[in-house]
């Protein structure tokens, strides 16, 4: 049998520079902020943190740094952010961006709400044209403070879609300082780490660039996975679930979607969705018993939000890792 060619995305000298850089927040442009806010509050248990002067709404766990930033317009990914706790991490990123000739701007301190100390940050455009935030330490006490049975405990990872995985992976490894945890042989999917989690960012070839493929939340424990399936069903969110057996990250997942975007002139082709997943491999993660005969749920449960093209209000499905 003739095997397809194997693509290996190389890592440069700066790969692995960051070890304590965590997923922070994500910004979406949505056609109906109120509908999106209602979904996240009703289904994920989020709370409104603030309304900014320009009309943006920030949601989160009720305290600590915000998680989602909603602004109004044609639906797309506005930005995604990382909290850099590595000592000298932001200065290192600035130096490497400068060395690579990539322009960047100071991050608006208002984007670093609940900062520990003086807020500091960088706004830079990734190779696909999406704004990325890297910022200093923020308070995250809201993630585990209360009501863990009715909402996820933390925003876990972001997966962006692209037409070409390699330039994005090279930007994040050679310039920013992430490492590649895994990649598919065909070069169409790469998982990158910047802390102890298996990946904080994944990049998948989907035929278009600069948009979200899906994003994920952690649940607190395995038992919550079953609770979430019941909870979403009670909320009339159609659910499907099962092991998401895409190597190298075997997951079990269930997902739901945000309200469908509706505009009169250009109906959006997709909506954000939320996937509950037995997650994401952690480099030192907990082990769980197999979920079913078709796959081993080896990782801590989580919730994923992803973009889909389906028309139903929500779904729980075998998700992409
Ligand atoms: Fe994922």
How far is it, in rounded angstroms, from Cα 121 to Cα 2? 49
The rounded Å distance from CA 104 to ligand 1 centre is: 28
Q: Give the residue numbers spanning the domain of 112.
A: 21-143
Full DSSP string of 76-116: EEEEEEEEE-STTHHHHHHHHHHHHT--EEEPPGGGSTTBS
Does some domain include residue 158? no
The rounded Å distance from CA 89 to ligand 1 centre is: 25
Vertex 105: Cα angle to 104 and 111 (nearest 5): 125
Question: Residue 116, preceding bond cis, omega within 30 degrees?
Answer: no
The rounded Å distance from CA 306 to ligand 1 centre is: 9
Q: Does the pLDDT value for residue 277 go beyond 60?
A: no
Does some domain include residue 112? yes
Distance of CA 33 to the CA centre of its chain: 19
Measured CA to CA in angstroms, residue 183 lies from 171, 179, 211, 238 at distances of: 15, 11, 20, 32
The rounded Å distance from CA 216 to ligand 1 centre is: 6
Q: What is the dihedral of CA 292, 293, 296, 301, to 10 degrees?
A: -10
Check residue 149 and give its pLDDT.
58
Does some domain include residue 315? no
Check residue 146 and give its pLDDT.
62
The rounded Å distance from CA 299 to ligand 1 centre is: 12
More confident residue, 311 or 163: 163
What percentage of the chain reaches a pLDDT higher than 70? Answer: 72
Phi (first) and psi of residue 193, to 5 degrees: -115, 155
The alpha-helical segments, DSSP class H, found in the chain are: 33-43, 89-100, 165-170, 222-234
How far is it, in rounded angstroms, from Cα 298 to Cα 289? 7
The rounded Å distance from CA 215 to ligand 1 centre is: 6
Give Cβ neighbours of residue 319 (< 8 Å, ≥ 6 apart). 214, 244, 251, 253, 254, 255, 275, 277, 304, 306
Both tokens of 104, joined, read 């960047």
Nearest to 250 by CA among 195, 191, 305, 201: 191
The rounded Å distance from CA 157 to ligand 1 centre is: 7
The rounded Å distance from CA 265 to ligand 1 centre is: 32
Q: Does the pLDDT value for residue 291 go beyond 50?
A: no
Q: If you search the block for the tokens 């209000």, which residue do you land on?
A: 313
The rounded Å distance from CA 183 to ligand 1 centre is: 13
Q: Does the pLDDT value for residue 283 go beyond 60?
A: no
How far is it, in rounded angstroms, from Cα 49 to Cα 67? 9
Nearest to 170 by CA among 6, 8, 5, 4: 8
Q: If you search the block for the tokens 């009339």, which residue do you land on?
A: 236
The rounded Å distance from CA 1 to ligand 1 centre is: 31
Say whether 182 sits in a helix, a strand or coil.
strand
Does some domain include residue 125? yes
Does some domain include residue 120? yes
The rounded Å distance from CA 118 to ligand 1 centre is: 32
CATH code of the domain in which 110 resides: 3.10.180.10
Average pLDDT, the chain: 78
Neighbours of 34 (CB within 10 A): 12
Please give the average per-residue pLDDT across 215-225, as a whole number: 81
Both tokens of 171, joined, read 């930007």
Does some domain include residue 237? no
How far is it, in rounded angstroms, from Cα 76 to Cα 110? 22
Measured CA to CA in angstroms, residue 276 lies from 41, 211, 219, 248, 304 at distances of: 16, 20, 8, 18, 5
The rounded Å distance from CA 81 to ligand 1 centre is: 16
Whole-prediction pTM: 0.79
The rounded Å distance from CA 303 to ligand 1 centre is: 9
Does some domain include residue 128? yes
Domain count, the chain: 1
The rounded Å distance from CA 158 to ligand 1 centre is: 7
Does some domain include residue 87? yes
Phi (first) and psi of residue 165, to 5 degrees: -70, -40
The rounded Å distance from CA 217 to ligand 1 centre is: 9
Q: Does the pLDDT value for residue 151 go beyond 70?
A: yes
The rounded Å distance from CA 29 to ligand 1 centre is: 21
pLDDT tens readout for residues 16-72? 999 999 999 999 999 999 999 999 998 888 999 999 999 999 999 999 999 999 999
The rounded Å distance from CA 99 to ligand 1 centre is: 31
Q: Does the pLDDT value for residue 219 go beyond 50?
A: yes
Contact at 8 Å (CB) between 290 and 297?
yes
The rounded Å distance from CA 251 to ligand 1 centre is: 9
How far is it, in rounded angstroms, from Cα 303 to Cα 307? 13
The rounded Å distance from CA 264 to ligand 1 centre is: 32
């Amino acid at each position: 049998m003739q095997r397809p060619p194997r693509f290996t995305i190389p890592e440069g000298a700066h790969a692995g520079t960051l070890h304590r850089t965590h997923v922070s927040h994500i910004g979406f442009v949505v056609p109906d902020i109120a509908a999106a806010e209602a979904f996240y509050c009703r289904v994920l248990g989020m709370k409104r943190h603030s309304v900014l002067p320009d009309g943006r709404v920030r949601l989160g766990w009720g305290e600590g740094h915000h998680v989602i930033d909603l602004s109004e317009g044609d639906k797309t990914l506005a930005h995604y952010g990382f909290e850099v706790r590595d000592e000298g991490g932001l200065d290192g990123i600035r130096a490497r961006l400068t060395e690579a000739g990539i322009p960047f701007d100071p991050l608006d301190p208002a984007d670093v709400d609940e900062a520990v100390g003086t807020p500091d940050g960088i706004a830079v455009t990734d190779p696909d044209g999406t704004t990325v935030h890297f910022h200093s330490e923020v308070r995250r006490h809201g993630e585990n403070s209360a009501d863990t049975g009715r909402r996820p405990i933390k925003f876990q990872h972001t997966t962006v879609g692209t037409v070409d995985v390699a330039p994005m992976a090279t930007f994040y490894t050679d310039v920013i300082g992430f490492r590649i945890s895994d990649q598919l042989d065909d070069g169409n999917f790469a998982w990158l780490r910047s802390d102890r989690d298996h990946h904080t960012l994944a990049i998948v070839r989907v035929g278009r660039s600069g948009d979200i493929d899906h994003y994920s939340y952690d649940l607190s424990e395995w038992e919550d996975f079953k609770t979430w399936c019941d909870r979403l069903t009670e909320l009339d969110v159609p659910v499907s679930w099962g092991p998401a057996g895409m190597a190298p990250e075997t997951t079990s997942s269930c997902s739901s979607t945000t309200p469908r975007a509706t505009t009169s002139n250009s109906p959006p082709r997709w909506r954000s969705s939320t996937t509950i997943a037995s997650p994401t491999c952690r480099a030192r993660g907990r082990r769980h018993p197999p979920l079913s005969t078709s796959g081993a749920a080896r990782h801590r449960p989580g919730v994923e939000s992803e973009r889909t093209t389906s028309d139903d209000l929500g779904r729980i499905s075998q998700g992409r890792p």
